[in-house]
Amino acid sequence: MTQKSLVEEMQQVQLAIELIELGARLQVLETETDLSRARLIRLFKEVRGMSPPKGMLPFSTDWFITWLPNVHASLFYNIYRNLLVGQKCERMQAFVTAYRLYNEQVSIDQAEPVLGLTRAWTLVRFFESELLQLSTCTHCGGHFVAHAHSPDHDYACGICMPPSRAGKTRKRREREAAVDDCATPRVTQVG
Ligand SMILES: [Zn+2]
């Protein structure tokens, strides 16, 4: 084995450990590193003290368009894109850094992180497959995750235009408004 491949392998192990610590599923590690499945499972057990969970990855773009996930996904993706394009970071380095910064921002805002690492990775893959686009809000100017090819000339984001409560009874509307006030996330730095 040459020296270069040893260094490369070490970097891959380091990346895998970082991703596992941040909550990556096995499929993420298998896609993003050349390490064998057996080694990844061993690494996972050593880092997390348990076997990797089984099951399918989330595969629908719709989740990222629903209200609260959209705010979080947009926050994360703006950070990622800034590191990747603006700062010219390497792809996975940009991803890991963006995910850490997203979590920091959420904790500063005293909100719960909605976007798990595997979801964030799926989001990046959806953008790479051109299934999603960033639409610019005509009210606040922020960039928000939207379905690819959706018309956005009069797009309004979920913060400027929270979901309509039309069609509900007044009593129910008031009750839900009271709940919403407590649950409204204080995510302000999108875009
Ligand atoms: Zn807006």
Give me the tens of pLDDT residue by residue for the chain, a chain 191 residues long.
456 689 999 999 999 999 999 999 999 999 999 999 999 999 999 999 999 988 888 779 999 999 999 999 999 999 999 999 999 999 999 999 999 999 999 999 998 999 999 999 999 999 999 999 999 999 999 999 999 999 999 999 999 988 875 444 555 555 555 554 444 444 444 44
State the chain's maximal CA–CA distance in angstroms. Answer: 72
Cα separation of 156 and 109, whole Å? 23
Residue 182 is assigned to a ligand binding site: no
Contact 114, 67 (CB under 8 A): no
Contact 157, 137 (CB under 8 A): yes
| pTM exceeding 0.75 | yes
CA of 177 to the centre of ligand 1 (A): 20
CA of 29 to the centre of ligand 1 (A): 35
Q: What Rg do the C-alpha atoms of the chain give, in angstroms?
A: 19
**What would the two tokens of residue 136 be?**
């610019």
CA of 161 to the centre of ligand 1 (A): 7
CA of 108 to the centre of ligand 1 (A): 21
CA of 164 to the centre of ligand 1 (A): 15
Contact 26, 41 (CB under 8 A): yes
**What would the two tokens of residue 35 be?**
């390490």
